[in-house]
Structure 1
Amino acid sequence: MHLAVYLPLLLPVLAGLAAGPLARRLEPRLATWLLTAAGLILAASSTVVLGLLALSGLVRIPLVAALKDYSPDVIAREDPAAWPASLAGAILLTLAAVATVRLAARRAGALWSAALDAACLPGPDPVVIIDDHGADAYAMPGLPGRIVISHGMLDALDPAGHEILLAHERAHLDHHHYAFLSLAQLSAAANPLLHPLATAVAYTVERWADEHAARHTGNRRAVAETVAKAAVATKRTRNRRRIPTAALGLLGRPAKPGTVPRRVAALLAPPPHNPPLLLLAAGTLLAASGLCALEAAHDLHQFLELAHTH
């Protein structure tokens, strides 16, 4: 296999470095779609390469070669991948598969639990007010989804803030932000180098909801003030934020240090644009990863055909 075949294992490092700038400079909706798709493509490409490396080592086993009628001499002579690379590929592929299955099971359980909790909340209204002095608000996915707001949060905000809060939470439900987060987390489970992309998606979905609220109210400064007030109220009430795993809140889940100030600063700045060069660079990186994975599959196919015909 050519050296370029290993690029899908290295490109996630570059993607991880670029995730933060992309999340900050692109329009949040586009950034969320791009980062989520990038995570899936890069995770799939690296997984394919690991599988091909493992397969190239598997055919060296005499019993496997005999079952498939492969020539041991051709296999030894062509040597598409060194034994250490094949062994490492098999180990990493196994770890990736186990991590992905475990996370998929946990996320499916969390979404199912959130849907049941949402269905069991009192009343038919999609907005549920809970008797809690801690300041909190979050959207729970389900059929239908529900928005949960505490009395503490209502007391901390004025009527205009209430409208902004509801617009933010409705954006989470209407645009299925939990699905983007789940897919980004699955990508990171398959390839830990993609964790920065998953973190960036957690930020961009909040920015997406912020921008939705800003368009709904027509006042970016008011949205920024509401996000800041909610953060201060949550800290003052010392709320433990017992948010369901699949829920999304005004302050994010969980709120990372510095995330709220960055969101406030973004809302106080002009609406973001999409630099063409950044989009071109991201598209080139994803295309290179996919092409390298296809090249690896082509090389291995040719090698197996040669081993079989001889």
Structure 2
Amino acid sequence: MTLALALVMPALVLPWGAAAATRRLASLLPPREACAALTAAAVLLTGGTVAALIGLFHVPFLASLEQIPLARAAAEWPATVPAAAAAGAVLALQTVRAARRWYAHRSVLARAWASTGDAVSDGDLLVVPDGDPHAFALPAWRGRAGRVVVTTGMLRILGPAERAVLLGHERAHLRGRHHLLSLTADIAAAVHPALRSLRPALDFHLERWADESAATAVGNRRLAATAIARAALAASTAERQPETRGPLLAVGTGPVPQRVEALLRPVPVRPRSHRTRAAVVALAAAVSAAALSGLALAYGLHEYVELAARALHAG
């Protein structure tokens, strides 16, 4: 059973290094591809972690399939029951934490939609009569299509061209279903603590994706940078701050100075140099290997139990 634990532990440790590699990989890619890499890594690493824990939790069950009573398995492999119990407890905790994140996500959406009851509708735009400057993308909810929510206070601060940037930014969030990507990273963080660092990285690249979409829509990167900076600064100085963590992505999310600086540079493109491409491939391979290790080690644990059972029967 010591060998069995040694098989599982790498799957639980590797996500720490894989998360760091994923953040580095995302920094080398354009925003859209960076978001895809971060979300895929969150899903794969979560799956690998859960697979390893399920494999460890099922060791007593696997032993019973080999016609080894639990009492004898515990006598021969003293760590069997404690390790399986620990894995079961962790899985239960992960389930509760993930369910709470999902419930919080839905609760924020419900409250956000309820707060737009007195809003004036104009196509996909909801204008809320509120002096505080705020704007965010409100995802679809119970048959209602997603909307861009903007307060009258924000509209007063921005000029017509800057409003076009702001609306383009929030519409990009809705088109790309960015709230689902954010929710995926949030649930992954509930499964493994190493994956918590992917959430702020994903939030940043989601905002960068929306920034680039807005800049493309208006055809002026400097105008887009100015509008994003003004809107974010205005929102940050408002007296009342909306709950934007989770499904609501606002223009002021993430490190705004870095976002503005990126808009003042040329349009980001995929890596072209051989050295950068090699780094991207190497990082992607490392993250994939770490993510798939959980599945491979869970299978190896199953094979180990079968071999150990045969040896026990032969003895």
CA distance 1:124–1:135, shift in 2 (3 Å): closer
- Partner SS state of residue 123, structure 1: strand
The CA distance in 2 between the partners of 1:277 and 1:241, in whole Å, is 43
Equivalent in the alignment of 1:92? 90
Task: Tell me the alpha carbon deviations over residues 116-148 of structure 1, each in whole angstroms, 9 at most, x when there is no partner.
Answer: 666884436221222222111111111311111
CA distance 1:153–1:120, shift in 2 (3 Å): closer
The CA distance in 2 between the partners of 1:11 and 1:103, in whole Å, is 24
The 8 Å contact of residues 107 and 246 in structure 1, kept in 2 or not, is answered as yes
Is 2:245 aligned against 1:242?
Answer: no
The alpha carbon displacement at 1:165 in A equals 0.6
**% identical equivalent positions:** 34
Could you state the TM-score of these two structures normalised by the residue count of structure 2?
Answer: 0.82
Kindly report which structure 2 residues correspond to 1:207-218, keeping only aligned pairs within 5 A, or say none: 207-218=208-219
The 8 Å contact of residues 19 and 195 in structure 2, kept in 1 or not, is answered as yes
Q: Aligned partner of 2:266: which letter? A: P
Moved more, 224-233 or 285-294: 285-294
The alpha carbon displacement at 1:175 in A equals 0.9
The 8 Å contact of residues 80 and 300 in structure 1, kept in 2 or not, is answered as no
The 8 Å contact of residues 22 and 287 in structure 2, kept in 1 or not, is answered as no
Kindly report which structure 2 residues correspond to 1:130-279, keeping only aligned pairs within 5 A, or say none: 130-142=128-140, 143-236=144-237, 238-243=238-243, 246-252=247-253, 255=254, 259-275=255-271, 276-279=277-280
Q: Aligned partner of 2:12: which letter? A: L
Gaps of 5+ in 2: 272-276
RMSD of aligned C-alpha atoms? 3.1
The CA distance in 2 between the partners of 1:173 and 1:220, in whole Å, is 21
The CA distance in 1 between the partners of 2:53 and 2:78, in whole Å, is 13
The alpha carbon displacement at 1:288 in A equals 1.4
The alpha carbon displacement at 1:264 in A equals 0.9
Task: Tell me the alpha carbon deviations over residues 122-181 of structure 1, each in whole angstroms, 9 at most, x when there is no partner.
Answer: 436221222222111111111311111122212221211011011101101111110100
The 8 Å contact of residues 139 and 145 in structure 2, kept in 1 or not, is answered as yes
Is 2:128 aligned against 1:127?
Answer: no
The 8 Å contact of residues 119 and 127 in structure 2, kept in 1 or not, is answered as no
Equivalent in the alignment of 1:30? 33
The CA distance in 2 between the partners of 1:120 and 1:132, in whole Å, is 10
